[in-house]
Structure 1
Amino acid sequence: MGSQASSELQDVHVVVVGGGFAGIAAAQHLKSHKVKFTLIDMRDAFHHNVGALRASVQPGFARRTFIPYAGTFGDDFVQGRVERVDLERQTVVLQGGQEIRYSHLVLCTGTDGPFPGKFNTVSSRQDAVQKYEDFIREVQAADSVLVVGGGSTGVEMAAEVKTAFPTKKVVLIHPRTDLGDPDLLPGVRDQAKKVLLEKGVELLLGEKVCDLHQLQLNSTQKDMQVSTQTGTRLTTDLIICCTGLRVNTSAYQATFSPSMAEDGALRVNQHMQVEGFSNVFAAGDCANVSEPKMAYHAALHAVVAVDNIINGARGRELTTYRTGNITMLMAMGSDDGVGQFNGYQLPRSLVAFGKSRNLLVWKSWWDMDQKEH
């Protein structure tokens, strides 16, 4: 049976584009089934970006959030930026001209957005860590910080700054009156607001910053002037933008535009196959699945995609992905948190203990089969 299984898979070579949570889950699942694969990412290290905001305020933490791919995947990892996919020749074309052939493709390109919440750029682990350490110095130099955006990232960012630097003035501005992700229970969103106020964060809700693209972000400059659309004027030393998260389409837009949803995500069926293709899959934030964008969901997508590559090669029935109840945890600094599990609001102390203390960094080192170093 074993030799038969391997012969069915001997012509399979899976290319996984993007080494985020979905990408490493796909690669590890392929590795465990001894299926040939190549994982491609712009960086040389996986970014546990659940810890990105803590890495922005706590010296030394960034190093723990970047885990070298080579230590897990060896020669099955290639660093590079994917420019396009050649469907006719079944190759992925990298910047610089390198081409990698595939029998199956798993697109895990995720979302992109402003630093420090996201770090999507060609980089070494050393340079990535240094960028966060440099950012900490900007935060340290500021007496006042303005966080723009009150989604989950903005809420967590404001809490991180105020927890690490309790004497700094921290203002969060958001165009709506509710904070956090829309999929959170109303009670959890109210609790997030309460925690921020308890910590001393000033909330400016129902207001939008004018000409955000013209303002200097992530760099401390004393007494910068900021105006809102209602005429409110603010003075701040540092502006951190936590808005504008978008699907990262650069690797596939030229080839797969007919299969893309309005927001750029790839339309997939219940087997995680991209619309119109039997050998192309999408997983994680770039898959058009109606559920919150979370690392946990991304990994589940990837496992279904890989299972279906194997099932397809063996002539078996394909597995179906089903969305479940929403579990979401928001770290509110290292000492507090809010969240929900299977539709129930969780005690703050439980979220703080389960997530906020170390932001699950240990889990990514575990998933990558490496010891933290």
Structure 2
Amino acid sequence: MSDHQIVIIGASFAGLTAAHGLLKTVLPTISGKKFKVVQIAPNEEFFWKIGAPRLIANPSSLPFEKALLPIASAFEQYGPEKYEFIKAYVTSIDASTKTVHTSTSTAVRYDSLIIASGTSFATPIWSVSDGTEATKNAIADLHQRLPAAESILIAGGGAAGVETAGELGELYGTKKEITLLSGTTNLLASLQNQKIGQNAASRLQKQGVKVIHDSVRVVEHTKANGKDVLKLSNGETKTVDVYIEATGDKPNTKFVPQEWLNEKQKVKADPQTLRLDVPGVTDVYVYGSVGSYSNGSVVDVQFAKGAFLESIRSDLSGTGKWKFQCYTDRVTDNNTAPGPRTKNVYKKIASDMMFVPIGPNQGVGVAFGWGVPSFIVKFAKGKDFMIGKALATVQGTA
């Protein structure tokens, strides 16, 4: 029986990093208590979603078994008294009783809670947030239809859409009609440096991919005679053999108390310590793309790791008191919680950070606001979408 139970909601990049970080580096340093980590997620396998564009377009180059890895075996080293995995969806959180309710009717008590539930997409090809089987089936369907397809339309001009278009352009070029709808006026529109998106469009067009801007979007998707029928925002109806939606993600926060969420339905987090930024609620932490502090990238998980673990370490060790203070510098005198304000704080990188392969031999990128040559993107990511780091992520050694 543990003295202190830490519940982690989510088992992707942030959730697994949190679990290993606690079990390897934080909890062994705190004496006098027995801790147990309980992880709750609907997926028993970790999906290397970074490699999804190549996995979708060219499974012979990046097979599924390399991108979908079992979680359980990576945690056997800790033993059942220190780690437990519960396969379930979280349905609600009761802060008054410190209880997490799940789809299996199991109520899980927590002393500390970490919300690392990530985000989900309109289609399961990009995430296992709806469980592994949905992702397997959706990608298998694309593998069956893509080789014979004569027309392919990709909606979404972010990294996933551009990378998928680049993979298909590399494979099929002018052999198939490949169209990419950016949904806005430029590709990679989230970047401050718009030249990066213009460069990406130029490279795709040279591959034979048709890039359409002018904010044309898919507003309705139906099926007819084995084809995808798309109604566009400009009034046009387009029928294609394969439609791939890559239009962005939404935070997985349906189970989170509404007062814990901001206007974008992300969980309110202190942007320096990653503690929940809600007056009167303590012992709750936010990690990864579900948090208001995050830019949503996988790299951001690693950048925030030190501050996140230090906050939990200081609170669990109970070496002082910190006053609740949110990022607007509002201090509530009556709200205190165990642990001091940590000195190791997260500092968000405001400049552009993105590597976008366009097929295995080229790409566009920016690091700390500076443009990155195509050959660096090729060797850093485009060669194999960094698949070698998938196992290290599951094992907590990344």
The verdict on a shared fold, with TM-score over 0.5 as the criterion, is yes
Cα distance, 1:14 vs. partner?
Answer: 1.3
CA shift in 2, pair 1:121/1:29, >3 Å: same
Change (3 A) 1:145 1:104: same
2:131 is the counterpart of 1:122: yes
| Structure 1 residues 335-366: Cα deviation after superposition (integer angstroms, max 9, x where no partner) | 22111112110011110111011111111212
Q: Is the 8 A contact 1:184 1:328 kept in 2?
A: no
Alignment partner of 2:126: what SS?
A: coil
d(CA) in 1 for partners of 2:274, 2:388: 28
Q: Does residue 333 of structure 2 align to residue 328 of structure 1? A: no
Over aligned residue pairs, what C-alpha RMSD do you find? 2.3
Moved >6 Å (runs of 4+):
none
Query: Equivalences for 1:267-306 in 2 at 5 Å?
Result: 267-269=268-270, 270-276=272-278, 277-289=281-293, 292-306=295-309
**Corresponding residue SS for 2:255:** coil
Which aligned pairs between 1:27-176 and structure 2 lie closer than 5 A? 27-33=19-25, 34=28, 36-59=36-59, 61-74=63-76, 75=80, 76=83, 77-115=85-123, 116-123=125-132, 128-129=135-136, 131-166=138-173, 167-176=175-184
Report the CA distance shift for 1:80/1:202 in structure 2 as closer, same or farther (over 3 A).
Answer: same
8 Å CA contact 2:16–2:396 kept in 1: the answer is no
Residues 299, 220 of structure 1: alpha-carbon distance in 2 compared, 3 angstrom cutoff: farther
Q: Secondary structure at the match of 2:146?
A: helix
Matches of 1:210 and 1:187, distance apart in 2 = 25
Structure 1 residues 334-343 or 55-64, which shifts more?
A: 55-64
Structure 2, unmatched stretches of 5+, are 29-34, 320-339
Q: Which amino acid aligns with 1:345?
A: G
Q: Deviations over 1:286-342 (max 9, x none)?
A: 1101x5310111233344223211111222442321112442111222222111112
The aligned length equals 352
TM-score (norm 1): 0.87
Q: Paired residue for 1:345?
A: 371
Counterpart-to-counterpart distance in 2, 1:370 and 1:183: 30
- The separation in 1 between residues aligned to 2:389 and 2:370, in whole angstroms, is 24
Aligned mates of 2:98, 2:305 — CA distance in 1: 20
Distance 1:78 1:299, change over 3 A: farther
Greater CA deviation, 227-236 or 31-40? 227-236
Structure 1 portions without partners, runs of 5+: 1-9
Aligned-partner residue type, residue 152 of structure 1: A
TM-score computed with the length of structure 2 as normaliser? 0.82
What secondary structure, in the 3-state scheme, does the structure 2 residue paired with 1:37 have?
strand
Q: Deviations over 1:27-48 (max 9, x none)?
A: 1101113453112211111111
Aligned runs of 1:121-270 on 2, under 5 Å?
121-123=130-132, 128-129=135-136, 131-166=138-173, 167-209=175-217, 211-212=219-220, 214-216=221-223, 221-222=226-227, 226-252=230-256, 256-269=257-270, 270=272
Q: Secondary structure at the match of 1:208?
A: coil
